[in-house]
Chains A and B, each alone.
Chain A
Amino acid sequence: MSALNDQQPETGQQLGLLIDLDRCIGCHACTLVCQEEHGDPQGVQRMKVPTIGSGHHDIPAGVYPDVWMYFQPRMCQHCINPPCIESCPFEAIEKRDDGVVEIIDEDCTGCNLCPPACPYGVIAINSNDMLVAICDMCSTRLDEGLQPACEDACPGDAIFFGDINGSDSVINAQKRKLPKQAYVLSGGGNKDDQPTSRYQSQKAQHQADTSILAVDG
């Protein structure tokens, strides 16, 4: 097992998010700005911010007074080999050349086969049209040369956006800056998905919940 920092950059662009869990205060600004950006109805969360600890909102794990918790923004992991794409009979999910996975609304029938295929539980159902909704890295903003809305809105500067394969990208600069282990979400043992979102944390290092975070590399 090696840290991500030691890996050689691969060829090809793969846009992704790096989230510094030590900077996340669990405010859900990302959740709400994401709803707003996509015009989603209330209740549809492409970006979730679960409390890691007891599993309950804002309730820590541990025994008083030795308690701990942290927050872990969760969204589409933009896998290298997305299992959702395989699960879709209508070819309504595509992986763009820049690595972003997105739903093609015109082709989605709302058959609901993809949510259970996602090992990370981040495919939401839009209660208005019953089509599926995922983080698309704000692809319409990207096409306009903007950053994803969550990266813009995060008051803790916990979210970094860039090409995970680009040695000069914001993400790799941030990884070099912080001597912290990088993690990927653990998708229940299926290594073939290769989720691309990266998480960094000192806390997770001390209190690693191996069912949630796997050391990257």
Chain B
Amino acid sequence: MKLKRLQAPLSDRDMEQLNTGDAVLISGIIFTARDAAHKKMMELLKSGQALPIDLAGQVIYYVGPAPARPGQVIGSAGPTTSGRMDFYTPALLEHGVKALIGKGGRSRAVRHALQKFKGVYLATTGGAGALLAKRILAAEIVAYPELGPEAIRRLVVEDFPAIVINDSHGRDLYEEGRKNYAK
């Protein structure tokens, strides 16, 4: 296990040095989006309209955070299941997204698109929402406020921890991990 630091947004060069099983610490700017926001962005892409955020080089974190208490930046903010976003992810990668953060396996189509468009899929610990919230220094709604927890938020993160599941070379930690430890 290698620990690597990433500054978001990301570049193709960042992608090349990341391998399945690496632990990463992300600092910089990332965006949140989950089911409803993906659906809305997809409708815009299909009709050729501009998206509320520029996707080039961006990291998308699948999270619907809990509300912040007064004085807090954000409430608990752990990952949601990524598979539900599989329908939308190849199109977002095609439009320049470099990394996705969530939990759980991705479809063959997503894994293929990660290779084709040089992207990575990262997992962070599901069920550690309070801990992960501490790595978020600022949060601001930038689109779809009517969606509540599903609105798109711009987050400033510092040392946000994640593990590389699918790298841009076609490997998959969920498959490899299972093989390594099965008895």
A binds B: no
Residues of chain A touching chain B, judged by Cβ–Cβ distance below 8 Å, are none
